[in-house]
């Protein structure tokens, strides 16, 4: 794979998480004190998530993990409008667990309602898609539980469960492709 192809692939995948990237950059490096900065980041992320979700549904069918992250940001934006304490609890109090729970909820709906399943890949055997989607659903549910349990540790309770879901999704998609 050439550098150009690798760069293009990276940008295509990053576009699926554009509101989350903007949210994290604003929350981390934006102006003001931490509380106001993260509240503003949730508002901006929630606003960006709405048209981004429509784009994902129309142009990137099967991007359920990214859609779950958009759901998380939209809920965070609504909570930022409600109160600073609510958004603080949502973002800092529970760590990565609400984001993973949103991914789980989106995955459950996709598994039940979409022919692509939670895995988001086309396959001629719907039963195979449902089986692989169930494994991914289990992984995302466990990741949400681990994130809640270890929420005080940013690495083990934040980064590790999110990475685990993304890596497991990639591995399951490979298995599904080989099962053709």
Q: What is the pLDDT of residues 125-177, one digit of tens each?
A: 999 999 999 999 999 999 999 999 999 999 999 999 999 999 999 999 999 98
**What is the mean predicted confidence (pLDDT) over 102-119?**
96
Integer Cα distance of 56 and 67 in angstroms: 7
Residue 13 is predicted with a pLDDT of: 85
Q: Give the other-Cβ count within 10 Å of 170's Cβ.
A: 10
Residue 61 is predicted with a pLDDT of: 84
Q: Going by C-beta distance under 8 Å and a sequence separation of 6 or more, which residues neighbour residue 166?
A: 65
Integer Cα distance of 35 and 87 in angstroms: 9
Q: Is the pLDDT of residue 1 over 90?
A: no
Q: Is the pLDDT of residue 180 over 80?
A: no
Q: Is the pLDDT of residue 60 over 90?
A: no
Tally the residues of the chain: 180
**pLDDT digit string, tens, across residues 61-72:** 889 999 999 999
Q: What is the pTM of this model?
A: 0.93
- Going by the DSSP 8-state scheme, the letter that residue 153 receives in this structure is -
Q: Which residue has the tokens 């659903």?
A: 137
**pLDDT digit string, tens, across residues 9-57:** 888 888 999 999 999 999 999 998 988 999 999 999 999 999 999 999 9
Q: Going by C-beta distance under 8 Å and a sequence separation of 6 or more, which residues neighbour residue 167?
A: none
Tell me the pLDDT band of 8, cut-offs 50, 70 and 90.
confident
Residue 28 is predicted with a pLDDT of: 92
Q: Mean pLDDT, the chain, as a whole number?
A: 93
């Amino acid at each position: 794979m050439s550098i150009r192809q690798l760069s293009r692939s990276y940008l295509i995948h990053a576009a699926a998480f554009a509101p989350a990237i903007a949210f994290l950059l604003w929350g981390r490096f934006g102006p003001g004190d931490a509380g106001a900065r993260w509240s503003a980041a949730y508002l901006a992320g929630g606003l960006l998530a709405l048209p981004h979700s429509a784009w994902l549904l129309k142009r990137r069918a099967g991007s359920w993990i990214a859609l779950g992250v958009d759901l998380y940001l939209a809920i965070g934006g609504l909570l930022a409008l409600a109160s600073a304490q609510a958004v603080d609890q949502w973002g800092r109090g529970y760590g990565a667990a609400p984001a993973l729970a949103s991914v789980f909820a989106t995955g459950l709906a996709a598994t039940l309602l979409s022919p692509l399943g939670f895995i988001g890949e086309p396959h001629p055997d719907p039963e195979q898609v449902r089986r692989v989607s169930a494994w991914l659903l289990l992984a995302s549910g466990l990741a949400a539980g681990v994130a809640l349990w270890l929420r005080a540790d940013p690495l083990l309770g934040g980064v590790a469960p999110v990475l685990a879901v993304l890596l497991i999704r990639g591995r399951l998609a490979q298995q599904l492709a080989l099962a053709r």
